[in-house]
Structure formats: C-alpha cells, structure tokens
Structure 1
Amino acid sequence: MTLASRCTHGHVSFHAGPPNSGKTHHALTRLLEVGEGVYAAPLRMLAEEAYRRLSQVAGAHRVGLLTGEQRINADAPLLACTAELAPDQGTVLVIDEAHHAADPDRGSAYTRLLLATTYTEAHLIGGTELLPIIRSLIPHAQIHTYERMGRLELVGYRTLEQLPDRTILVTFSRATVLQLAAELQQLRPGRVSALYGALPIGARRDQIARFELGRADVLVATSVIAHGVNLTAQEICFAQTSRYDGRRTRPLEPWEAAQIAGRAGRGAQTGRISVLHQHPDFRPHLRVAHSALQATVLVDPATGTYGYRRIERLQAAMPRPADLAQISLAQLQARLERWQRPRRAPPRDCRVVHGGSPSQLSALQVLARAGHAQLPGPIAWALSHAPLDPQAPDGRAQLLELAELAADPAADAPDFGSDRARQRNMRRRDLDLAGLEEIARLDQLSAWARTVLGGPPLAHEDLAPLVVARLRHEINARAASAHPPARGEPRVRPKVNRASGWR
C-alpha cells in the first residue's frame, strides 16, 4: 500500500505561504462556515489561541479544547487541539504548521493526520517548502498560494539603545533572555517583557499581553515566537544568529531565520529586520538575517514557486491505540527500532507501528529495563509521549512512577509538583524563579498523567502570577547589579565588503 493511497480525506486543500499571508485565516474561515471539525496545532498556545478565536465567532458552547493538560468541552462540534490528540475522523480537519511533519520528534503525529485519518475535507497550512511532498503523496490536493501582505526590509544594525518600540529581540536561551531583559530594563524601566520555553503557559500569556497592549516596548524572546504566535511587532532584532540544535551550535538555516523574521509587521505593515550591534557578548551575522528576506530554493518547477527549503520526506506515521491492542512494550520497542534502521524501504510487517522519535525509544528502553516489558502496547505508547526527559535521573524516576500508576488503576495519580516542594521543605510561593518554573513543569506532567491515565484534576493555585512576579524581580535584580550600559561612546559600524556580500 502506497502512502498516497492511504490519504482518505475527501477533499484536500494546501494553503501555502509565508508568515503574515492570511493562510490560517482562510482555513479557519472554512472551518467556521461548515461549523463542525478540528483544528490541530503543534503547540498548546496555538491550540488555545484558535480556541479563543473560534469561540468568539461560534460561541464558547460550540467549541472545545483538547491538549495534554486541558480538556474543555471535548465533545463540542468544533475542537481545537494539539496534533497528537486530534481524532481519527470527522468533517473538516485544519492542520496548522504542517511542516512539522518533517520534524524528528513531532513529525509522526502530523503524518498520521495527513495520511491515516478520514475527514470529509482537510486543509493543510504551511510554507511552500511542503509543495513537493504534497504533490507526491496527495496528488489530488488543491493548492492555494498566498503572498505576504506587507513587505520585509533589512534595516541593518541596532544597539540596545537604538531599538525602537514594538521590537522583539530574539535570542536562544533562558539565560540570554534574562541577561538582555535586565540590560534593557536599565534603559526602559518597567517597559520590557520576556518570553522563553520554561515559563508556564499562563506566564507566557501575561508577557505576550503586556507587549500586545503596549505596556512593554520591547519583548526579549526565544524562538517560541516562530511557531505561529501572533504578535504585532514592527521589528525583529536578532541578538544571536546561531543556536544549539541538540547536537551542535550552528548558524540558523534560512527557513529558520524566515520563520522568526516573518513575525515582524503584521497585516499590510512593513516589517523590519535588524541585528544587535556593539554588544560584548553577542555577535550576530547580518548575512543570516538577510537570508530571511528572499526565498531562493525552487520548490515547484511547474509553477516556478520558490521556498526556503524543500521537504521531500516526512517522518513515518504514528500508530493509533487500536493498532497496538495486541502487542506488548517489548514488541513495540522492537518494531520501532527496526523501523528506524536505515533501509531502502520499510519492512512489510511494520504496518502496525510506523515510527517513533529518539525520545520515545529512550522512554521505552527505560521501561523495559525496569521490568515493564509486558506492559500493554497502548499504555507503553502513551507513556513514551509523557512530557519529561527519560534520560535525566528525575525523568526516569517520574516515568517509572507513571508506569506503576498505569499498572494499578486503584493507585492515586501523582502530584509531582507538590512532592518536589515538600522535598525542599518550602511552600510554592517561597520558591525563586527557577524553582517555580520547575514546579510548574511538574504540575504540567501531573495534569498530563491525569488526563491520559485517569484521575481527578488537581486543584493547585495558579502559579502564573507568582512566576510573573518572580520574573519581574529577577530582571530588576539583575539590572540593579549590572553596570549601566555605556553612553556617548562613538558608534563605529563594522565594514561591509560589498564585493563578497553581507558580513
């Protein structure tokens, strides 16, 4: 059976275009017109944003939200969810950020939605880099291409003092976000927001709202802004143009730079791109920022369409719980390992399990070594998706505790966050910023366990206000202890070799 023949959607539309081109709006408009269907996204924040947008038009009683941590009105006719939890069939399916189908960790869930679910119509949203694989696997798909509504321009170098209002300053770690936020706090007291992945979802919303409502002039953020989060920024300034990808530190690929830079200038506004200049700790390269301006890879010769890369292979599809009913953890692990070995073609007997990320394999190995080899396949597969690091000591211990819970339905579901606070002999509100972020992550893990494995929801105090207060304190303390930025020094622009291009 070919992959193409497995696409059982009645009508498929691919909405292809860059950020700020209106492609998501058109797909959601169609979902609302039909009044029944699913919106699937890679991030909980995107699912929640779609939930709010759909509720405003259709009414909250007709819209549900389903993520690893939240379940609201899950039987509603309109459902916003993360990709892994999207139903197998329905009327209309909207798949946002569909390029995640090529991602080593998240791709299998997207491939399942593309090729192993059944909807009356499906709308895929992504960049033009997906055109080759869409034409190959879903030849009957109708292609809609979109142009960016406002242009992007490269304005060159900015010092911290020169950053205009409505700027997002981009870096790639929690430590550098806090460092730059503290330095900007000296220049713009009380007018700086910070955004990074370790912040709990409520704190992220608070920081985004401060920027959107004009209570912050500059938002210092990691690449979390690249994944479809709608922000009304006028300028994106790169403090770094290299990032650690889990194996090595490397320059941003043009498509990565474009995903970030595309957040500048919403609607018909011109978006500006710049790089940070004259900072002792940051040396971004203007040529990387420049690569975001123009797509140079011919992705569809038939139509002369260009993109920032070509995606010609998807991660293998993720199994459904019903596929795993008759196999054990040991069989599941063996099939995943066999599937991931380099081959010209997948083995014929791998129809049941069609992929798995390195983190999933690591989780299954931990379970098998701890004596859970006979754990039922559906439970093992669910545990392999738990939001934890199975290679870290704490993550392994938490995974094994979840396995014990799954084997004994009468056991109480864990409350990892409260347990950690008790280990430290501290109340939640007495923890510092890093401690609160850890407790929030553990609360998320506990909520996931109760959603997936069963158990009543936790009734914890919302940590977001505490985290926001600690974040503000952390930035102020760092700003107070740092030397004030030098002023009045001559600004010498680095020379650009026009013959060889950007520095």
Structure 2
Amino acid sequence: MRGSDETMLMGAGRMQNLLQGLGVSNCHDLRQRFSPLSHIGHIKLNRLPKRTAIVAFSADQVYALAEMLRRTRGGAAIVMGNLSPQTRNAQVALYQSGEVDYLIATDAIGLGLNMDIDHVALAETAKFDGRLRRELFAHELAQIVGRAGRGTRPGSFGTTGQARPLDDSTVAQIEENRFQAVSKLYWRNSRLGFGSVDELLAGLAQKPNQSILRRIRRRSDEEALLELAGHRTMGNPDAAQVRRLWEVCQLPDFRKNGIEPHLRLLGELADHVLDRDGVLPDDWFAARLQRLDRVQGNVDALSARLSHIRSWSYCANRADWLADPSHWRDQCRDLETRLSDALHEKLVQQFVDRRTAVLVRIARSNEPIEALFKPDGAVEIAGQLVGHLKGLVFRPQNRSKTLAGRTLRQASKKVLIPEIKKRMQELVEKKDNTYSLNDQGEIVCGEVAFAKLCAGVHVLQPALELLEGGIANADELSVEREKVLSRLNAWLQTELNERLRPLFLLRDKIEAKQLNSAVRGIGFQLLEALGAMDRRSIAKELREVTQEQRGDLRECGIRFGEFSLFMPLLLRPAPSRLLALILAFGPKGSKTPYIAPPGLTSFVSDAEIAPAALSAVGLRKCGKRLIRLDVLERIGGEIRNARQKGEKGSFQPTLEMVALLGCAKPDLPEILGSLGYRREKIEKDAEGEVDELACTWIQRSITAKPSQAKKPNPASRGPHKGTSKSGKKPARGPKPEKKIDPDSPFAVLQDLKLGKK
C-alpha cells in the first residue's frame, strides 16, 4: 500500500539494484539476521531433533510423512496452503503448545509464519511450479529454511527422507545469505479499459516499457475471460458488464480440480451477475452452501468442502453479487469455521497419537509425574490411558516394539515402580487369613492374584513365581520382590502343613527312620502317591507284613481298605483341592488341576485323568463314574454283608449301595463290574425291565496273567516228559501253606473251615 508521505518496501537485499532501476529512492537500511543458520546435513526421519519443521511440496507427501511420525514420534502438526486459515492456525497452535514436537508443511511455511522452530528438514528439494517440476533455487530454499531459529537462538537446516543432500554451493549461499541479484520482474498492466472485451484483452496483453520488466504469462483469469467471452452471446456489452465479467473471471481456483470445473463455476456465476438483476439468487446460493454443510468424512473430503466454501466466501465478500451480502458472509464464515474445526480434529485424530506425544515429553523430563490409578485397574498419566495394573501385573495399551510402545513403557515405569513398591510392602504386611489359593493355582489377596504355583524339587515342596509383568521385575524392586516371595512361601508352607498334616507326619517318620523296615517301603510309595493308592499295586508287599507291623502306618492316619490305601483326613474338600493343585503344578504336572466337586460321593466324568492322579485327590474311576475312596470302601462293606447272606458268595445289590453312591439303579452294573463282579442271574420286573436290585452277582474268576503263568519244567519236554531219567515220576514236594491277607474279605472264611487242622 502506498503511504501518504512515504512508502516503505521490505524485502530481500537481492532486490536492491532492481528497485533502483525502477526509480525507487536509494535510501535503504540493511538488517542482518540475529541468529546464525547452519547446515547439519542429512538426517533420517526417525532421528530428527525436536522442534523440527519438515518440508514437502505435495499433500500426499505431507500425509505420508505425518503418518510415519505418528508411529515413531507421536505425531506432527500439518500446515499447507490449501488449509483454511482457522485450520492452519489450530495446527500451528498444536505445535507451538508443545503437544507435538514436529511440524510438516509445504513451502507455505516460508510465508509469514513465525514459529518456535530449531531445525528445518527438506524432504523434497523440487516442486511443480504450475508448468513443470524443477529444483528449487538457493534463494527459494533459503526462504523456507530461514524459519529455523528464533530471535538470537541459532537455527539449522538439512535434508531428510528421500531428498538428496544439498550441494556445497547451495549450502554456502544459504548460510552466508548471498544470492544472485534479481534482474527481471514480471509485470502486467493494471490500467485496463472496459469499453469492450477486446479492449480489456488488449490492455492485458500490453507489454512493459522498461527492459527490466517482463510481461507475465497469461494467467488463469485471462484464460477464463477468453473462454467465457468466446462462448457467450453478450451482444454489445457496456463497460459495466465487461467489468463485471472480468470480476467473475478473477475468482481464484480454490478447488484445484482442473480448468474445466473452474470454467463451469465461472459460467454459472456470470449467468447470474450479468442478467438484469445482477445478483446471485438467494435460493441458488443457499443450495450450494447446503451441499457443503456436512462435517463428516475423512481429511480429503473435509479439505475439498473447505476449498469449495472458500469460493462461496469470495462471492459473499463481493458487495454487489448478493442481495444481502452481510447475511451470506456470516453463513459462509460459520460453515467454514465448523468445517475447519472438523478438519483440525480429523488431522489430529489421523496424524497425532496424543498419548504417545504426551508420554514422549514425560519420559524425557525429570519432573514429577502425576498418575491416576483407578479402581478398575486403569492407569492414566496426564489424562492419557497408558494401560491397566492388576496386582503387580501391568498391561500396557501398546505392546509393540515401535517408539510409541517403548515410550509408553518408559513413561509408565516412572509412575509404576513407586506404586508397585507400595503394593508389595502392603502385601508383605497382610495377615495369613487374607491369602488364598484359587483353582488356577494362584495366590490371591483381595481378589487379585499375586503369585502362582510352579514346580519345586518335590510335589510337596512347590515353588512360587510372582505375577509381575514387565515392570515389577525391574532391578529397583529386587529387595521388595524377595520379601514378597519369602512372605508368600511362608504362608504356603503353613497352609500345606495344616491341610496335609498326615502326609508330612508320614514323611517325617520316613526321614527319621521311625517306621519298621517291613512297612517303610509301603510308606514311601504312599508318600509319593500323595496319600492314596490302589491296593492291587502293592498286594504282594501287603501279604508280607503283619497287622502289628502295619500299626506304624495306621498311626500316620493311613487306612488299609479293601480297594485302596488312603488317608481319610485328606479326602476332605480343602485337603483334596490342595493336593489337586500341587499335583497339577508340580514336577511333570498337567497344569490343569482336577478338583472334585465338594459334597458328592460319586459323579460321572469323561475327563481323561491318570488313575494315580485320581487316587491323589481321593477318587477312583469305576466305568464312567468317579467314586470317593471312602465311599467305595463302604460299598465294599455292603457287598461283604450281602455275600454272607447269599449262597456261595453271591449277593444282590441293595438300596443302601445306591444311596451311598448317589446314582441310579441302572448305573450299578458298570460300577460292580469294575470292582471285579459279574452278574450271574438277571431278574426282570412286571414290566419286563431288568430289576437291578433283584439280580444276583458273584465275584469274577481271576485268571493268571501271562507273565505269571507257571513255566513248564524242562523235564516235561521230549519223549520222557513227566518222568525222571529213571523213568519214574519225581516225588511231589510238600504243598506250601497259602497265606491269607488278614484285610481280605475272605479272611473270615478261614475260621469257618470245618475240620481245621
């Protein structure tokens, strides 16, 4: 703007000689840059320092760089020429506030933006200038990288990404602010005549009268004038109509969709402003705005709507194009504001990971961090959810190995270590009655698991492993961790000693050699089997010990049953459950404890479980049904009583058996069959159904296993089989006396033999 007394022109020193050639006064004042600007070469994108502006020259490249920085640095602000001023200012504020440390921009950054930038990195050094793609000149690069540094604070510049490093000559020109002087200026005649379209075109085509000026290439408004004037029937327009047509042609192409869409828009505008009313119809203008009144969509869709609304804002700011321009200016401004806000939010949502950006700053600072630990386990730092802390286990929101994931864990560690240390101390101070073992083998306190069972040196000496995630095992917590393990191990040992007292009594007697040698082996096997085992597996050893010798084992709480050796105290729900847990998580354990439902004497189960594991928890599989060992012994007693009343050892099932087992009558055959009995006589009721309580059962005959069959005498082979060398049969030796197991149900029959010698 020309001043009333004097006019000041401010620009680069390379314009000085040219201005003198135009007759501008030689009075000038040269100002030097306050801070040095230095070149630091090429730096990879993920190693750029904070407070860096990265420059590219296309929207696609800007978005690609922003996405990369979102993943590695928490995000970046975006500044482009096609953004609305409001969106651009909001993005600049995002950067200036420190919420993000990086700014990605087109060369619009070199035009009037004054920001807190320490380094400018060029991701591209070539751009499309409207006609062709070319390398930028040194003075153009200087205009961009000169944004680095503020006040007296030094600035730096360089390249990044796919950009080639700058050559030494270009670097020297930029650092020394030394460029070739401008010798030519582009010019277009501004003194135009509007008597006719031809007169207007002639004025635009006029050449300058000074050698340092060059006529500017034909611009888009001149192209539009030629196109519209050539395709319109305007008759003999007056100067006002020609001027109005020229004003329409000067509408900038904000939309950048190509010349054809722009010409169609100009044609529509010309149709209205050149008719007899001379204004754009309100309903027509309102319909155009209504099409754009949507704040949904992605970045591209919102940007396109904003470019359209800028065209209509231009129209509304023409005082004579609308009947009520003030009203439509307000409408356009309101719509542009809402679209700008939506675009800013979408840019932030797409290209800024606010949580990572916040945590990056926190991780790099030494200031105290305020964290919020919510009752549901959520952990928030500076209002950002970083993960969940349950007990001592922290589950971060981001587990990836990217910078975002590492930053989250680094920042979280600062607040989690003091919190976990406090929780560990509280855990150590808890009373025994606050701890418990859940069905997953975890030690729980306050409904939160803190440790889990794992294999120790022996199944009765389980080890513990803290459930601590990736934070609680930090070196800073080593002392507290040892205290917690010591406290929980002490509680677990107390629990084992109380619940499994008979087993530890047996172990102590074995280690102290307080058992007689005859039953020491049986006791050891029973200890290894966790207090219960099938009688058949040690039948041979049992036949060799007397009732008196068995007394040592009975003192340990062992019962010699018909089907099993077991400890009745361990069949209670609490000891049985504990045995199932230490067995499952002990050496070679299945990690899947089988815990019997409390209160049931028997139940159906299809689970594939080893017989030894079932015995350890006080169960035995009879067909598809699992039966508690003590109940099975009572069934054995019922069978013995029934056999004494039957003929030749046969018996009939009773209702007491059914009641003890808690099963249905049709389940009896499978159970009795698994115990070594077979049905000899089947009885049916009046309806023709088998009456299980009326059927007769006897013990199944036992055949010797192949390995137990008597080996043939060598003398039985050949022609003299069954005789000695003398031809006589060998004398038969005395028949060995057969030992009867005193605990066998048949022992009572020994005393009933008639004529016992």
TM-score in terms of structure 2 length:
0.41
User: Which digits, 9 at most, give the CA deviation of each residue in 1:157-183, with x for residues without a partner?
Assistant: 211221111100111111011100000
Structure 1 partner of 2:245: 380
Structure 1 partner of 2:165: 285
Change (3 A) 1:228 1:372: farther
The answer to whether the 8 A contact 1:318-1:356 is kept is no
The answer to whether the 8 A contact 2:51-2:102 is kept is yes
Aligned-partner Cα distance in 2 for 1:365–1:260: 36
Specify which of 288, 291, 314 is matched with residue 419 of structure 1: 288
The answer to whether the 8 A contact 2:34-2:151 is kept is yes
Q: Give, as a single letter, the amino acid of the residue that structure 1 aligns with 2:34.
A: M
The answer to whether the 8 A contact 2:187-2:216 is kept is yes
2:82 counterpart SS class: coil
Q: Shift of the alpha carbon at 1:445?
A: 0.9
Q: Shift of the alpha carbon at 1:360?
A: 2.2
The answer to whether the 8 A contact 1:194-1:207 is kept is yes
Give the gaps of 5 or more residues in structure 2: 357-399, 405-757
The answer to whether the 8 A contact 2:118-2:155 is kept is yes
1:176 aligns with 2:68: no
1:473 aligns with 2:349: yes
1:274 counterpart SS class: strand
Change (3 A) 1:237 1:160: same
Change (3 A) 1:159 1:168: same
Aligned-partner Cα distance in 1 for 2:293–2:343: 14
Aligned-partner Cα distance in 2 for 1:368–1:142: 46
User: Which digits, 9 at most, give the CA deviation of each residue in 1:314-357, with x for residues without a partner?
Assistant: 2225425xx53x422232123323549x997999xxxxxx8674
Q: Shift of the alpha carbon at 1:431?
A: 2.9
The answer to whether the 8 A contact 2:196-2:242 is kept is yes
Structure 2 partner of 1:493: none
Aligned-partner Cα distance in 1 for 2:401–2:8: 51
Structure 1 partner of 2:485: none
The percentage of counterpart residues that share the same residue type is 23
User: Which digits, 9 at most, give the CA deviation of each residue in 1:384-424, with x for residues without a partner?
Assistant: 321116952221111112212321324326877963863xx
Query: Within 5 Å, which residues of 2 pair with 1:301-320?
Result: 307-319=178-190
Give the gaps of 5 or more residues in structure 1: 1-85, 93-118, 298-305, 348-353, 488-503
Name which of structure 1's ranges 461-470 and 407-416 shifts more when overlaid on structure 2: 407-416
1:369 aligns with 2:230: yes
1:194 counterpart SS class: strand
Aligned-partner Cα distance in 1 for 2:76–2:99: 8
Aligned-partner Cα distance in 2 for 1:311–1:283: 27
Aligned length: 341
The answer to whether the 8 A contact 1:173-1:222 is kept is yes
Aligned-partner Cα distance in 2 for 1:284–1:458: 47
The answer to whether the 8 A contact 2:158-2:165 is kept is no
Structure 1 partner of 2:221: 360
The answer to whether the 8 A contact 1:127-1:307 is kept is no
RMSD: 3.4
Aligned-partner Cα distance in 1 for 2:175–2:68: 37
Change (3 A) 1:432 1:127: same
Change (3 A) 1:223 1:132: same
Question: Rg larger in 1 or in 2?
Answer: 2
Query: Within 5 Å, which residues of 2 pair with 1:150-299?
Result: 150-189=35-74, 191-276=75-160, 279=161, 282-287=162-167, 291-294=170-173
Change (3 A) 1:360 1:465: same
Structure 2 partner of 1:99: none
1:394 aligns with 2:261: yes
Aligned-partner Cα distance in 2 for 1:346–1:193: 40
Structure 2 partner of 1:431: 297
Aligned-partner Cα distance in 2 for 1:355–1:329: 20
Change (3 A) 1:343 1:120: closer
Q: Shift of the alpha carbon at 1:427?
A: 5.2
User: Which digits, 9 at most, give the CA deviation of each residue in 1:171-213, with x for residues without a partner?
Assistant: 1111011100000001122x41111122222110111111122
Aligned-partner Cα distance in 1 for 2:232–2:344: 42
Aligned-partner Cα distance in 2 for 1:345–1:160: 43
The answer to whether the 8 A contact 1:261-1:292 is kept is no
- Compare relative contact order (CA 8 Å, sep 6+) and give the higher one, 1 or 2: 1
Q: Give, as a single letter, the amino acid of the residue that structure 2 aligns with 1:284.
A: R
Structure 1 partner of 2:202: 334
Change (3 A) 1:467 1:395: same
The answer to whether the 8 A contact 1:360-1:385 is kept is yes
User: Which digits, 9 at most, give the CA deviation of each residue in 1:38-76, with x for residues without a partner?
Assistant: xxxxxxxxxxxxxxxxxxxxxxxxxxxxxxxxxxxxxxx
Aligned-partner Cα distance in 2 for 1:429–1:450: 21
Aligned-partner Cα distance in 2 for 1:259–1:339: 30
User: Which digits, 9 at most, give the CA deviation of each residue in 1:57-112, with x for residues without a partner?
Assistant: xxxxxxxxxxxxxxxxxxxxxxxxxxxxx5xx6xx3xxxxxxxxxxxxxxxxxxxx
TM-score in terms of structure 1 length:
0.61
Aligned-partner Cα distance in 2 for 1:142–1:160: 45
Change (3 A) 1:212 1:293: farther
User: Which digits, 9 at most, give the CA deviation of each residue in 1:13-57, with x for residues without a partner?
Assistant: xxxxxxxxxxxxxxxxxxxxxxxxxxxxxxxxxxxxxxxxxxxxx
